[in-house]
Amino acid sequence: MKKFVTVKEAADMIHDGMTVMVGGFLGVGNPIALIDELVARNVKDLTIICNDTAYPEVGVGKLITNHQVKALIATHIGTNNNTIDQMNAGELKVTLQPQGTLAEQIRAAGAGLGGVLTQTGLGTVVENGKQKVTVDGKEYLLEKPVRADVAIIGANIADESGNLVYKGTSQNFSPMMATAADTVIVEPQEIVPTGTIAPETVKTPGIFVDYVIKK
């Protein structure tokens, strides 16, 4: 059985200056209650790794709006004008990566790899400052692994052993993030007894989950 915690106990584990992965897509699949608690506490100087920054008042977007983020690694920021404004003002360091590349960087960290080779971004601003590697006469960018201190992810269902099921696009990077952080905290919509989830529907095995928020 995984260790159950309250939202407040989960928030106690996240401190100023940490690097935090946030699962979800445009707010769907974000751990909403935990994010709201972090906003209320004004945990600041965070480095956030996520697919996108949702909307100004939705999910991870609230952390941006409240000026709690110093650096962002994401694939898309166009739906949150506060992210764009803070980036243009020099208040927020933004690193934009192709979506598939960021997914593979996170996966590489979880698998203990030294990086991934990709041709995506060659000849564009994406390649600036990055090492290039030639394999069999073809040139690739070396994209290094991306890890976090904490991953906070939402799930549709968790069982008492921490096995997770996601609904639709809410899955996004969450299964990969659960392998690439020192501590993994999950906020499920529903908790069920171990053994009630069909094994083939499990997308994150409980071995990767440290804490499950019980509301």
What are the pLDDT digits (tens) for 25-64? 999 999 999 999 999 999 999 999 999 999 999 999 999 9
- DSSP sequence for 70-110: EEEEESB-TT-HHHHHHHHTTSSEEEE--HHHHHHHHHHHH
- Collapsing DSSP to helix, strand or coil, 64 comes out as helix
Name the H helices within 154-196: 174-177
Which tokens go with 24? 């979800």
- Collapsing DSSP to helix, strand or coil, 177 comes out as helix
Domains of the chain in sequence order: 3-98+146-213 (3.40.1080.10)
Q: Using an 8 Å Cβ cutoff, are 163 and 191 in contact?
A: no
What are the pLDDT digits (tens) for 136-151? 999 999 999 999 999 9
As a whole number, mean pLDDT of residues 91-120 equals 97
pLDDT at 113 over 80: yes
Q: Would you state the pLDDT for residue 215?
A: 84
Q: Would you state the pLDDT for residue 151?
A: 98
- Binned at pLDDT 50, 70 and 90, residue 1 comes out as low
d(CA 131, CA 103): 19
For 93, other C-beta atoms within 10 Å of its C-beta total 13
Give 89's contacts (C-beta < 8 A, 6+ positions apart): none
d(CA 119, CA 84): 27
